[in-house]
A and B are shown apart, each in its own frame.
Chain A
Amino acid sequence: AQTVTQSQPEMSVQEAETVTLSCTYDTSESDYYLFWYKQPPSRQMILVIRQEAYKQQNATENRFSVNFQKAAKSFSLKISDSQLGDAAMYFCAYRRQIPIQGAQKLVFGQGTRLTINP
C-alpha cells in the first residue's frame, strides 16, 4: 500500500522569507500524481500544486514550487516570499494514475502546520 509521510508537524517562517515543507512517499508504481493541498482555518481544501510522476520538470505555481526527486521518492514544497495568507495546514497527497475503481483515491500525509511570523 502506498504511504505518504510528512515529518514536520509544524513549521514557521518570517514573512517574505522562503520555507520548504518536506514529503516522502512509498510506492511501487511508476506512474502517479503528487499534490500539495492547503487547508486554511476555514478548513476548505485548496489545491496548491500538482506533479505528474512522468514529468521530470518540477511544477511551479507563482510563489509555490516543488522539488520532485522520483528516485528518492521525495516531493518537497517551497514557498517563496511567504505571506500571512499562506498560514495553513499543508497536506502532501499521492494518487495512482491507473483509472480503475479504487485506484483513484488520494493518500494523504499527516500534514504540516505552517505559521507565518509578521
Chain B
Amino acid sequence: GAVVSQHPSWVICKSGTSVKIECRSLDFQATTMFWYRQFPKQSLMLMATSNEGSKATYEQGVEKDKFLINHASLTLSTLTVTSAHPEDSSFYICSARDPRTGGSMQYFGPGTRLTVL
C-alpha cells in the first residue's frame, strides 16, 4: 500500500501561537488530500479538502482563516493552526487520494496530536 507521513507526530504550543502540520505522500502524487480532526473516542470529522494548485474546500463550520491549508505540490499539503487556543487541542489526521487507483483509495497519515497550553 501507499505511504502517507505526517510531521510532527505531536506538538505542544502556547496559546496565541501558530502551528504548522505537514502531510506528505511518499510514493505517489496526490492531487487531493484531506484534513480531519478527531476528538477522543469520537469519529473523524472532515475539516477540508485540499487540492493541488487551488484553494482548499472547507466543510461547513470550519474557520478557513484559522485553519490555513496549502497544497503547494503534488506530494505536500500543510495545515496551519493560527492563533491556537486550548480548544484547538485535538488529533489531526490527513489522508491522500491515490490517483493510481482511479481515486477510489485514500491512505491515511499517522496523525498529529496538538496540545495548546
A residues neighboring B (CB under 8 Å): 33, 37, 42-47, 50, 52, 91, 95, 97, 99, 101-102, 104-106, 108-111, 113
Contacts and interface: CB of A to CB of B under 8 A. Distances in A.
B111 A105 contact: no
A44 B4 CA distance: 11
A52 B38 CA distance: 26
Contact of B108 (A44, A95, A102): A44
Which of the listed residues B34, B102, B106 has the most CB atoms from chain A within 10 Å of its own CB?
B106
Classify the interface of chain A: helix, strand, loop or mixed: loop
A115 to B, nearest CB: 14
A105 B44 contact: no
Contact of A33 (B49, B104, B107): B104
Contacts of B25: none
B95 interface: yes
Interface string B32-57: 10100010011110100101000001
B110 A43 contact: yes
